[in-house]
Structure 1
Amino acid sequence: MNYVKPLPSFLAQRYHGWKATTFAENHAWYKRLAEEGQRPRAMVISCCDSRVHVTSIFGAEQGEFFIHRNIANLVPPYEPDGNQHGTSAAVEYAVTALKVTHLIVLGHSNCGGVAGCYAMCSGQAPELDEKTSFVGRWMDILRPGFERLPEGEADTARRQALEHEAVKVSLENLMTFPFVRSAVEAGDLSLHGLWTDIADGDLHALDPISDRFRPV
């Protein structure tokens, strides 16, 4: 594999710093995690965006969250068609094997994936409509959310509304998974929709009664 290069020195230095401090100070905890396995209480599906740091937002330590990240924090509908579905596999493992009791979909402001979906559905990004675009075909999941956007608002407001729709569509799609639905109906699993504003750090939760996002 001559195309693989050594780790950049700045990352190697950061690793050695972590190993000498954080890891050394909590070695017993890491050893316990390794020997006893993971028992996370919650799964979080969040965006790949480097500005969204799930564990920092909740002050979580290793072993607390089972985290899956993808473009625009989307969950596809239940489609056991034999294709490879990383997100669906992560959800199945979290719910059926780890028995998490909370499943959180976390959206965020200024999401590039959502902005791309908005542009694609508005006819402003034909390259994403190409069959060869992995991003475009992934963002097809969010098309139903785009179709629900209110008319007559500015693009900025509509894009933020689509970020909220990304959370709602994912929650709706989660309920198409038989094992998710049965766990929810049995009271063993709770679904939650969140959206965070990167600039001011605010966190908003989807209110099931009003169907709107309210400050936490």
Structure 2
Amino acid sequence: MTDFTDLLDGYQRFRTSEYRRHRERWEELREGQSPRVMVIACSDSRVDPAQIFDTVPGEIFVVRNVANLVPPFEDDASRHGVSAALEFAVTQLEVPEIVVLGHGACGGVAASLSQRFKGAPNGEGGFIAHWVDMLDEARDRIVAQHGGGAEAVHALELETVRVSLVNLLTFPFVAARVEAGTLTLHGAYFAIRDGELHLMDENGRFVPA
């Protein structure tokens, strides 16, 4: 298992290989970034967007959280990490595309389906429960249709992408750019078991990339 010492060993390999190989690229990035795509993905250690899409530094602006969820626009004094990153990517970097990337074997989806942290205090699962309750409506609908087995798990994993795409459009600066044709939203799903990427089509169905 990898520990912090292993990470430092990896850093040394990076300095002697990847950094040297992309030295000119790193020099360019000192002046700023101009990614063309924002990716909203899960924090799951098995789902690294840079690896899945085989990108080099500076190509994608990434936000990762439990179950790749985007909360709806909220105009209050709370701290909104995803909203801040979204605002920066869209209004400052002016990315023309956003991808919401769901994945298989998602722990956030499992927590939503089992409701194992429901009623737990913060620090003992409460933060997780309140985060994934964005899926409550979708979960109830899917459980009513599929029960609580593997089919329901997969259906809710796909639904995390749809919920996030709907919530993205509640942000005025996102909706305005989508309507103007300067911003495009995409849904995607990565199946860990077989390494296949699926894209959401215009009908909301996921098809192999």
Which band: TM-score by shorter chain?
Answer: over 0.9
* Local SS of the residue matching 1:195: strand
* Local SS of the residue matching 1:148: helix
TM-score when normalising by structure 2: 0.93
Question: CA contact under 8 A between 1:131 and 1:137: conserved in structure 2?
Answer: no
CA distance in 2, matches of 1:181, 1:59: 29
1:53 aligns with 2:48: yes
2:172 corresponds in structure 1 to 178
1:84 corresponds in structure 2 to 79
Question: CA contact under 8 A between 2:43 and 2:65: conserved in structure 1?
Answer: yes
1:207 counterpart letter in structure 2 = D
**CA deviation map 1:98-118 (0-9, x unaligned):** 000110000000101111001
1:66 aligns with 2:61: yes
RMSD between superposed Cα atoms in Å: 1.4
Pairing of 1:99-114 with structure 2 (within 5 A): 99-114=94-109
**CA deviation map 1:107-147 (0-9, x unaligned):** 00010111100111xxxx2x333352100000111112213
1:128 corresponds in structure 2 to 118
Distance 1:24 1:152, change over 3 A: closer
CA shift at 1:215, angstroms? 1.1
State, as a whole percentage, how many aligned pairs show the same letter.
Answer: 43
CA distance in 2, matches of 1:131, 1:196: 32
**CA deviation map 1:158-187 (0-9, x unaligned):** 011001111000000000000000000000
- Structure 2 residue ranges without an equivalent (≥5): none
2:154 corresponds in structure 1 to 160
- Structure 1 residue ranges without an equivalent (≥5): 1-6
Number of residue-to-residue matches in the alignment: 203
CA distance in 2, matches of 1:131, 1:178: 33
CA shift at 1:24, angstroms? 1.6
Question: CA contact under 8 A between 1:144 and 1:169: conserved in structure 2?
Answer: no
**CA deviation map 1:47-95 (0-9, x unaligned):** 0000002111111110100000000000000002110010011111111
Q: 1:15 aligns with which of 11, 17, 31?
A: 11
1:199 counterpart letter in structure 2 = R
1:105 counterpart letter in structure 2 = V
1:30 corresponds in structure 2 to 26
1:143 corresponds in structure 2 to 136
